Structures are given as C-alpha cells and as structure tokens.
Structure 1
Amino acid sequence: MINLRISDQNLIRIKKLKTLKQININPYPSEEYTITYNSKEIRTNYKKNKPVILAGRIIRIRIMGKASFIELKDKEGLIQIYISINNFSYENKVYNLFLKKLLDIGDLIGINGYLFKTKKKQISVYAKKIKLLSKCLRTLPNVKTDKSGNTFDSFSNNEKRHRMKYVDFIVNEEIKKVILTRVKIITFIRNYLNQINYLEVETPILQSIPGGAIARPFITYHNTLKSTFYLRISNELYLKKLIVGGFEKVYEFSRNFRNEGIDKKHNPEFTILELYVAYKDYYCMIKFTEKFLNQICFNLYQCFTLKIGNQDINFIYPFQQITFFEAIKIYTGFDLSHLIETEILKICTEINVKIDKNMKKGQILDQIFSQKCEKQIIQPTFIIDFPIEMSPLAKKHRFKNGVSERFELIINGVEIANSYSELNDPIDQLQRFKQQIKLYNKIESENMLIDKDFILSLEYGMPPCTGIGFGLDRLIMLFTNQRNINDVLFFPTIKSVNTIQIG
C-alpha cells in the first residue's frame, strides 16, 4: 500500500514551500540551469579557485552559525559545499532564513562557486550563489554510516524498495550501480553484435497468436479491429520469418510478457536477447556463446573470472558440455535415456521429484532436471541433446535417435540461454505443434493456437539456421552478483495498490 498521508514532517515542508514563495523564491523554476562540471570531473581535474557550476540533491546539512556545509549528490557521487555568510552573494537575512530554515535534505539545488581544499585536504566548492531547483516535500531515509563502515537506518525493506525505486536509487548507491551496469552490458552487447554484422530489428508486441514458447499469455482486446490480441510471450517466430525473408543475421532485445508466477528469478515482464543466424547450427552457436560471455566478463571487469557469493565462475572457454541424460545420471544415479513414461514415473517417486499427475514424458523429464540437476551446475556448462519431446522448435539430432540439436547454458545453478539448430521442415513443424498442444490442459490449449502464418513462411523455405535466447535479466543478475531480479530492473512488477490514503 502506498501511503500519501500528510505527516507532520510533510506539513513542515509545505509551510516552508509557502514561505519561499512569500520571499519571491520560486521552489520549482522552469528556466535552464547550466552545469559546467559534475562531482567526478571536479575530483579528477581539481584546480584551486577554479570556477564551477553544478547541481544535485542535498544529502546532509551542517549549520555552524556563520558557516555551513552541504553534502551534495549528483549522478557521479558526492561533493562538499562550503557556505560562509561573509562570502555569500545575498543579504544576511536571506542567508539566515533561506539556508538555515528553508532548505532541507532532499532538496535539489544549483551551486555557483569556486574550488578549494579544506584543512583536512577535502576537495570542496566555496559557494557564491545557491539556487533552489526543486523543493523536496518528503523526508528521505536518513542512511548513516559509522567510522567502521556499518550502516544504520538504511532503506532496506524490499517491498518498499522495489515499489519506490526512485527512492532506492537516491539512497542505495549500490543498487544504482547495478542498474548502470545493466545499461553498460546492453550497450556492449549491441555494439558487439553490430560489429559482427547482426541487424537489430523490432517485432510486434501485440500478437494474434502467442507463439514461440509455451506460457500463459496476457490477453487484451483491440476495439477497432474487434479482435483479441496477446502480449508476446516470445519473438522467436517473427525473427525466423525475417530469416525466411533474407535477413541472415538478426537480433532483438525483446520485452516479453508471461502471465505466470513471480519470484526472485521471474518477473511477468522481462527482457530476452534473441538472435538468429542463417547457414549455421547449434555447434556454431556454442562457440559464439562461449566467446560472447567471455568478452562481456572482460569488458566489465578486465578479467575472465567472476566472484559470485563463494564461487569463482570461470568464463575461459571451452565450457563443459554434458548431454541431458548424462546430467540426470550424474545427479540422480539413474539412466533414463531408454525408459518409457511409466518407468520414469516410478523413479520420480524414488528420488522425490514432485510432478503433476497430468504431465507427459517431456514435462516429467523437465521436472527431474529442474529439481535435481540445474541448481548443482555452477561453472558455465552446456546441457546438450535434449529429448525431442521437450523441443518442438528444434531439429532432430542428425546422429542420435530420440534427441534434438538443442542446448541450454547453465551458470551458477540458473538457466542463462537456450539454443537450437532450428527446425525448418514445415511438415515436421506442423506435426510437432499439434503434438505439443495435446500435452497441455484445456485452458493452455485454447491459447496455444498453431501459427499458420509461420508454417506458411517455412513452406517458402527457411535456410538452415541456429538461434539463441538469453534471459537478459538473469544474465545481468549473474554479472552483478544479484539474487533478486527486482534489483536489476528499473521498475519491477509489484502487486497492485489497493488503497491510497491522502490527508
């Protein structure tokens, strides 16, 4: 619940707002405020008496009679501001009223002054003028750190943090750094792919058929067309249509939506990096993926080993490869590769794997792998050659019966990517779609309509190709050592507000 109740502190700040207007200080000016330097540039290029103009948010105020200190925070960090009544370009009464009584922690101000160092050699700005840029009417969490580095009164309640990300970014610098790392990773990926001649494309979010994956979609309605549409659960089929159309290397940062559970690894709205390349297979994609992640790690940290918790994750390739059935045998002791469904069900009871009574063979195998294997795989590992029942969009293996040319990349117990040698036989693909629909219950089956336009596109001929989908949010969680997906999203999905209290 978001609380808009007016507290005593809010009332005090609102009174200050009125006083500011009475003395002709606009608390929300509209004109441009020209900034010449930020805090990082000041620290890096310090020169005594250098004139500077900067802006930021007040984090701390220390009033000391005729002199005062303000700790100012801008996008690059903190800088100390020194204000002396004897060197201030306003009348004393304005100094005493404006600075001492009307400014608050959280206010956004502009500073015009020059650089100097205090007796303790701290780089500071000697303020000649202060301009109020935006009055803060809410009290910021007062995060304090002692000499030993211990933090007190932190803004740490996860429900509040994730709902009020704007406050989280103000007071929790580490979370802001995580988000900036997200931006850096996406920028690197885009540049990396563009340099090797991949084309960034855009595909529809509103789709008439929720194809390309198995998931419950969000449903909406278009009034003019009088048609039901779905928010996309995947962009895979559209990217393959582009391969059909002659675009040989394509990628998209795809915002996808799945009307399913929410936990520390799942958000209903999430980002997938999906890419496809013609005339390659999943063996080629393994090599691409190894180098790709290796370069992301090096770009971020100038090394190839990443510390996650107590684990050192090594991105030096080649990564380990294990077949799907080998992984199950390693972590359960059972070879399931030649067993029928009833035999596998008995083993599920022995190894305490929880399954739904309506699940079919492919779903049962998926649960065994998820519950018994995935979390134990720490170093980057390709799980290859999945059962054909689990891979409706992948080619049957060219040498092995009953499995597909598919891999999943597991790192630190989490699936990071999924790849196939893409199925381009339209007759086989249509049969696979029909078989897949039969596996799911009535509600899911009604939403899993066959995309006939995709089948039609395959009939025009899709070149042999391979594709991969990276869970971008999970990838960023990995490279920023975060355990909660909400901490790598600008604005995660939070339960709807039921009540708003005002006054």
Structure 2
Amino acid sequence: MSDDPQGAAPEHELLAVRRGKLDRLRAAGVDPFPHAYTGVTPIGDVRSAHADLEAGAETEIRYRIAGRLHARRGQGKMAFLDLDDRSGRLQLQAKRDVLGDELMDRVLDDLDLGDLVGVDGTVFCSRRGELSLRVESLDVLAKSLRPPPDKHHGLQDVEQRFRRRELDLIGNAESRALFVTRAKVISTVRRALDEDGFVEVETPILQPLYGGAMARPFVTHHNALDRDFYLRIATELYLKRLIVGGLERVYELGKDFRNEGVSFKHNPEFTMLEWYEAYADYEDAAARLESIVHAVSVAVGYEGELDFSPPWRRVSFVEAIQEATGVDIMAHPESADLAAAIKAAGLELKGVDDLTWPQLVDDLLSKHVEPNLKQPTFVMDYPVAISPFAKAHRTKPGLTERFEAFCDGMEIANAFTELNDPDVQRERFEAQVRFSEAGDEEAQPYDEVFVQALEQGMPPTGGLGLGIDRLVMLMTGVRTIREVVLFPAMRD
C-alpha cells in the first residue's frame, strides 16, 4: 500500500500508479466499485460497546464495518490499518495466516490510503490498549484514484478547504464533527417547534416580488413566463399570508438569498428559520427564542463562555445607541440633522451626507453597539422608520414592538409584534418607496397583494427570524460563516 506523500512524486505519476492497481484488481476478478455492502455497524457503536475492554483482551464478537483507509503500519506477515467512518476511527489488524496469501498481498500491494473498504472481523484490545478489529475478510468498496489530503497537515490552504469541502471532510475529523453538530442544531430547532404545534411549510424561493427584509435581491429570468423573478430575501410575507389563512402557527426553515457583501458573518446564500404565531406578540417570541437556543446548547453539549440560560439581558435600542455614541437618534428625525449630529459627536461615517435616516441609524447600531454585545442580549423597541412590518409600540410613540437578538458581537434573530393593520401597512410601504427614491437600495418594495391579504384580517401575531448559520457558529465557536456552510460562495 502506498502512502502517497504529497510532493513525493508528480501528480500524474501518483495517479498512474493508482490506476495500475485498479487494473490489477479488475484483472483478478475484483469489482472495485460494487453496488452495495450491507450490514455495516458504525465504528462509533463498536467503540462504545467495548469501551471497557482491557488491554490484551480477546473476544469472539464479530462486526462488519466500512470506511476510508487512513493509515497503515507494518508489512509482510502482519499490518495494522486505520479505518475512518463518520462516527470515528478503528484500528484493523491484518494477518497473513488469517487472510491467506492472496488477500494479504492485495491488502499490502493493491490498496492505497483513501480507498474505501469493508471488513469483517472480531474485536480485541491490543497489548497497548488500542481497541482493534482482527480482519477475517476484506472487500474493496471504492478505489480512490487520487491521493487524500496529507494525513498530518490536511489542507493548509483555507480557500481550498472551502472550495473542495469533500477533501476537507476526508482529512479533517473536526470538520466532519462540526457538520454533524449543525445537523443536530437544526433537528433540535425543528423538534421544539413541532412539539409546540407549529406546522412546517414551504413557500416560494422564486418570487415575483421580494420583501420581508432590508436587502438587495438576486434577479433571474423565467423564460417560459417571460418575466423576471427574485430569489427570496425572506419568507416573511408569504408566511403571514398563511396566518391570515388560519394555519395559526407556521414555520419555514430554508434558504434565503441576499445580494450583499461577503464577510465573516455574511454569505449570499444562507439558512434562515422564520416562525409566526397567532395571538402572540414579541414578548412571546423572545421567550420562545430563549427556550429554543438554550435547548440547542444542551443538545450539542455547548461548553463555551456564552450563557444561553433564560432570561437574556435586555437593552433599549435608542438608549444603547446613545450610550455608545452620545447621539440621541429620536431627537434628530431627519437624515440631514442626524448626519450633522453624528459628525458633531466625532464619529466617522463614510458617505454620511448620502445616507437615508434608516441607513444612518442602522450604521450606528452595527458599528458601535453590535460588536460589544457578547452575552445573549435583546435590543428592544426599534424606530418605525427601520421596522416597516412591526406593530407600533403600545406605550412608546415613534417606536415599534421589535427586537433583535445579539450574541458574541453579531445579530442572530429579529422579531416583531407583527403589524396587522392594512392601512398602516400601506403607509409604511409608501414610506419605504420614498426611502428607495432617496437612494436606499435595501428599502422594501410596495406589495399590494400582501396589503390585500391583511385586509382579509390577520390575528395578533408574533413572528421571528433566526439565522441558523450564525447559531451554528455560536454553538461550535468558529468565527466565520464559511466554516459552517458546506459550500460557501467564493470568488473566482
């Protein structure tokens, strides 16, 4: 078996050697790409079942396992191989007096690191205390025609890790574990909502009119219908139409798309959860979010510095900005006045004279408040101008019943007591049109169909959007969204 050390020979020579072994296997009547291999036990289950086996102990317990060859030691009459599957790694002992000359020669001469194989054998524990499987039979399940990433260094090029995620997963057990954790995050969220009577639904990804968030959309053209469509930036407006229709508790967990910059916390394609609950408000949404995120942290065994236990800290939007910058945004309701106040406070803001009031306010929050919110925090009660779908606050004029949840210096969720008065919603859309005409590319377009849906009558409703990718970042401790997205968007 060749270790194929990277750099030991030109790539074309390594590939030629592996293809030569493929030809030898076929000439010997071995199918190097069989259809199936049934009855496999995960390596993790084998390890769990025999965790207490003492050094030197033998058993007659047989297992069939399968995976990718990771390493090999020894030659001649006996060799030790390391086999990886998703659940872990197990040492294999191959002995000539057990396998016979033909199969032992195949193990030593025709297999390479990276090959996928299946083995049957009995469990024992080596004298050094290593749980092992004594191989009684071995089948090639897929011949690897290219060498795996270097087993000691993995993929050193971070960009290459993201472009060729399959290589990253082959060479990096931590990456495999991370995406298993991601799956557990999602299943925990789903289970919590399902158990509370929510109905999971699917709404269009291709939309004739985008809406539900402050973002620029991707535009595509449908040839048969001869019209432009937008990749959705949010599921909000469709989900609230389902509340109007009487489903009462709905959620969707799927992809959204925003044509915006790429950063450690932004990917143009991302996974979002949105839920809407009739007869609830933003306080109910906050309590549900605390409960779900805490349940996720328990499910994945989170052990970091963040404390997800309810209740989370709460701060006022207006007061948080004023404490961080000295600027009282509500005292400056026009963009020119707010821009002047920002300059007077000595704050640098690129293009300050060209930004609308919502853009100025959002910039103050994202630059001066958000980075300093380490522990889970609700920033409460946002101004009307930046909350076109939130109901006016019942006691605070000029503000809405909206919060955003922040943690570790980034936003993870956004929630409202949903605006259900169609006349007020129409006025909010008209204000967004004015912001758009003033140059705000992320302002909401006017959606008359949604207004008409509200005219049918929508019950009091609490709604929330939770960024799944960012939640996974928190639970795994990674600092860039590209680590938790299997195939992130990359430059050429």
| TM-score, scaled to structure 1 | 0.90
Which residue of 409, 416, 423 corresponds with 1:413?
Answer: 409
**Out of 38, 42, 49, which is 2:60 matched to?**
49
Distance 1:426 1:296 in 2: 37
Question: For 1:339, which of 329, 332, 336 is the aligned residue?
Answer: 332
Task: Label 1:444 to 1:29 Cα distance change in 2 as closer, same or farther (>3 A).
Answer: farther
Q: Does 2:394 match 1:398?
A: yes
> Displacement, 1:220?
1.6
Listed one character per residue, the Cα deviations across residues 226-256 of structure 1 (whole Å, up to 9, x for unaligned) are 2211111111000000010011111110311
Q: How many residues align?
A: 473
Which residue number corresponds to residue 55 of structure 2? none
Q: Distance in 2 between matches of 1:271 and 1:428?
A: 30
2:99 paired with 1:95: no
Tell me the SS of whatever aligns to 1:193.
helix
1:119 aligns with 2:123: no
Matched, 1:58 2:69: yes
Matched letter for residue 112 of structure 1: D
Aligned equivalents of 2:471, 2:435: Cα separation in 1: 30
Could you tell me how far apart the structure 2 residues matched to 1:113 and 1:446 are? Answer: 61
Q: CA separation in 1, counterparts of 2:19 and 2:342?
A: 64
Distance 1:288 1:29 in 2: 49
Deviations 1:364-392 (A, max 9, x none): 11101111111011111111111111111
Whichever residue aligns with residue 65 of structure 2, its letter is L
Stretches of structure 1 that go unaligned for 5 or more consecutive residues are 145-152, 497-503
Equivalent residues in 2 for 1:283-302, closer than 5 Å: 283-301=283-301
Mapped partners of 2:290, 2:45: distance in 1: 37
Answer yes or no: is the 8 Å Cα contact 2:403–2:414 preserved in 1: yes
1:254 corresponds to which residue? 254
Cα distance, 1:443 vs. partner?
Answer: 8.5
Take 1:287 and 1:449, find their aligned partners in 2: how far apart are those partners? 31
Give CA-to-partner distance per residue, 1:267-286, whole Å, 9 cap, x none.
11111110011111112222
- CA distance in 2 between counterparts of 1:230 and 1:247 reads 26
Contact 2:297 2:308 in 1 (8 A): yes
Question: Equivalent residue of 1:313, what SS?
Answer: coil
The CA deviation string for residues 125-170 of structure 1, in whole angstroms up to 9 with x for no partner, is 11121111101011112232xxxxxxxx232321110011111111
For residues 198-245 of structure 1, what are the alpha-carbon distances to aligned partners after superposition, in whole Å with 9 as ceiling and x for unaligned?
111111111100121222212222222222111111110000000100
Letter in 1 for 2:467: G
- Equivalent residue for 1:494? 490
Question: 2: CA distance between counterparts of 1:346 and 1:357?
Answer: 9
SS in 1 for 2:225: coil
SS in 2 for 1:42: helix
Alpha-carbon deviation of 1:445? 6.1
**Contact 1:422/1:466 (8 A) holds in 2:** yes
Q: Distance in 2 between matches of 1:360 and 1:354?
A: 13
Per the TM alignment, residue 93 of structure 1 is displaced from its structure 2 partner at its CA by 4.5
Question: Aligned partners of 2:86, 2:442: CA distance in 1, in Å?
Answer: 49
Structure 2: segments with no counterpart, 5+ residues: 1-9, 51-57
Name the aligned partner's letter for residue 250 of structure 1: V
Write the mapping of 1:232-381 to structure 2, written as runs, cut at 5 A: 232-301=232-301, 306-307=303-304, 312-340=305-333, 341-349=335-343, 350-381=346-377
Query: Which range moves more in the overlay, 220-229 or 361-370?
Result: 220-229
Give the CA deviation at 1:48.
0.6
RMSD: 2.0
In 1, Cα distance between the equivalents of 2:384 and 2:438?
23
Quick one: which of 126, 131, 136 aligns to 2:144? 136
User: Which of 467, 471, 478 is the equivalent residue of 2:474?
Assistant: 478
Tell me: CA distance 1:449–1:286, structure 2 relative to 1, closer, same or farther (3 Å): closer
Displacement after TM superposition at 1:36 (Å): 4.1
Q: Is the 8 A contact 2:75 2:108 kept in 1?
A: no
Q: Provide the rounded CA distance (Å) in 2 between the counterparts of 1:224 and 1:232.
A: 20
- Decide whether the 8 Å contact of 2:271 with 2:469 is kept in 1: yes
CA–CA distance in structure 2, aligned partners of residues 55 and 224 of structure 1: 47
Cα distance in 2 for residues equivalent to 1:476 and 1:271:
11
Structure 2 distance, partners of 1:442, 1:207, is 25
Opposite residue 323 of structure 1, the aligned amino acid is S
Determine the structure 2 residue equivalent to 1:150.
none
Report if the CA contact (8 A) 2:233-2:258 is conserved: yes
Q: Secondary structure of the residue that 1:216 maps to in structure 2? A: coil
Q: Which moved more, 1:291-300 or 1:178-187?
A: 291-300
Distance 1:320 1:83 in 2: 59
Q: What is the SS of the residue equivalent to 1:423?
A: coil
Does the 8 Å contact 2:40/2:66 carry over to 1? Answer: no
- Cα distance change on mapping 1:36 and 1:292 into 2, 3 Å: closer
Match among 105, 108, 118 for residue 110 of structure 1: 118
Secondary structure at the counterpart of residue 217 of structure 2:
coil
State the shift of 1:337 in Å: 2.5
Alignment-mate amino acid for residue 324 of structure 2: Y
Distance 1:461 1:428 in 2: 13
Q: Distance in 2 between matches of 1:355 and 1:179?
A: 40
* Distance of 1:378 and 1:315 partners within structure 2: 11
Shift of the alpha carbon at 1:448?
5.3
**8 Å contact from structure 2 (residues 217, 230) kept in 1:** yes
Matched, 1:160 2:160: yes
Equivalent residues of 1:209, 1:448 under 8 A apart: no
Aligned partner letter, 2:104: Y
Structure-1 residue corresponding to 2:185: 185
Hey, what does 2:20 align to over in structure 1? 15
- AA in 2 matched with 1:78: R
